[in-house]
Amino acid sequence: MQKRRTFIKQTGILLAGIGLWPHYAFKKRPLKEKLGVCLVGLGNYSTNLLAPALQLTQYCELRGIVTGTPSKIPIWQKRYGIPDKNVYNYQNMDRMADNPDIDIIYIVLPTGLHALYAIKAANTGKHVWCEKPMAKSAKECQAIIDACIQNNVTLSIGYRMQHEPNTKKIIEWSKTLPYGKIKKVKAHVGFKITNPGNTWRMDKELGGGLLYDVGVYCINALRYTFGEEPIAVMGKHENTRPEVYKEVPETSIFEFDFPNGSIGDGKTTATQSVNLLHADCEKGWYELEPFQAYNGVQGRSSDGTLLNTYIENQQARQMDDDALAIMENRPMMVPGEEGMKDIVLLEAINESAETGKKVMLS
């Protein structure tokens, strides 16, 4: 537990320090006009969100694919002009080490496979982007971070919300406190799911259910809205349909104690449609609803301020931010340590739900 808290504190200090580096300390860009991205896993998110977004990016472009489904290859090659030499499968993706077209390998697989393939990706010497949740355990997250350090490559986690302008305002307010001290923050995400199906997300090892899938957004939001790390965690799982939710929780409720008595209230559920981030402060309140969506993230505050900055495509913004950071040799906006902090807390929620006791992090 001491270790868990120390990790969160130390990486916070480290990243705050990095943020203070003067800009002139960074290398000038760019050697390449655009960085080449290879998508690993051609499921829904790659097919319908990332590949189309890569047609809108300024600093990176889709140049390669890794798939285990041969029938997808001609479709992707035709649609995106991907040459044969940039097509890989899970067994031969190590050969990408010798392919100068590819600069970044983006892991878009079921969560339980992130560590295995992110480490393989790092070992090719390419930069690594890894989808959220970063991995199934803090131990796996650490292994990914270590592999990227050993191979001297950057690592970024696909938390697109941290690149979204209204969310960035909330993050800024955690420092400027325009409504006074933040006393309580609520971050709830839920969907009324009648039939969740038999997908990897419902598998305990590969997915871990909604707590992993969208719970990390709530955990991340509680942390970035306070701009602080929690010191204790209570967690509880509820299940009204044990015949459906056999391996993973249907609902998870969690409470984080932040320093100075502030409270974080988190929830993920398959029983109710909700998507709200709400902060109660000493001199007012503010919220985003939805706070976690591909588009339409918007909000308001107690004095009538609207949070409604529009961007065309979150994924394009995220990938351009990250590609430009690589080109300019700047730290990633959402590094591996940030993804790992959420998994450390997610494991604390599960530990508390199992024991019925508060998990102390300091």
Q: Examine residue 347 and tell whether it contacts ligand NAD (CB under 6 A).
A: no
Minimum Å distance from CB 9 to ligand NAD? 27
Q: Position 196: which residue type?
A: P
Cis peptide, bond prior to residue 133, ω within 30 of zero: yes
200 binds ligand NAD (CB under 6 A): yes
Q: Which is nearer to ligand NAD, 90 or 285 (CB)?
A: 90
Minimal distance, residue 2 CB to ligand NAD, in Å: 30
What is the CA 93 to chain-centroid distance, rounded? 24
**Bridge partners (DSSP) listed for residue 285:** 280
Residue 110 binding ligand NAD, by CB under 6 A: yes
The tokens for 73 are 């290859």
DSSP 77-121: HHHHT--GGGEE-TTTGGGGGG-TT--EEEE-S-GGGHHHHHHHH
- Dihedral of alpha carbons 237, 200, 133, 47, sign: negative
> 8 near 233, Cβ under 8 Å?
no
Nearer to ligand NAD, 38 or 281 (CB): 38
Interface of this chain with ligand NAD, residues 55 to 74, rule: CB under 6 A: 68-69
Among 104, 109, 210, 288, binds ligand NAD (CB under 6 A): 109
Residue 296 binding ligand NAD, by CB under 6 A:
no
- C-alpha span between 313 and 329 (Å, rounded): 24
Tell me: does residue 108 bind ligand NAD (CB under 6 A).
yes
CB of 289: closest distance to ligand NAD in angstroms?
A: 17
Closer to ligand NAD by CB, 240 or 295: give it: 295
Rule CB under 6 A: is residue 45 a binding residue for ligand NAD?
Answer: yes
Please state, in angstroms and as integers, the Cα–Cα distance from residue 148 to each residue in 121, 130, 285, 307, 331, following that order. Answer: 9, 12, 40, 36, 13
The site that binds ligand NAD (CB under 6 A) totals a number of residues, namely 20
Q: Which is nearer to ligand NAD, 6 or 295 (CB)?
A: 295
Which residues are near ligand NAD by CB under 6 A?
41-46, 68-69, 108-111, 113, 131-132, 158, 160, 200, 206, 213
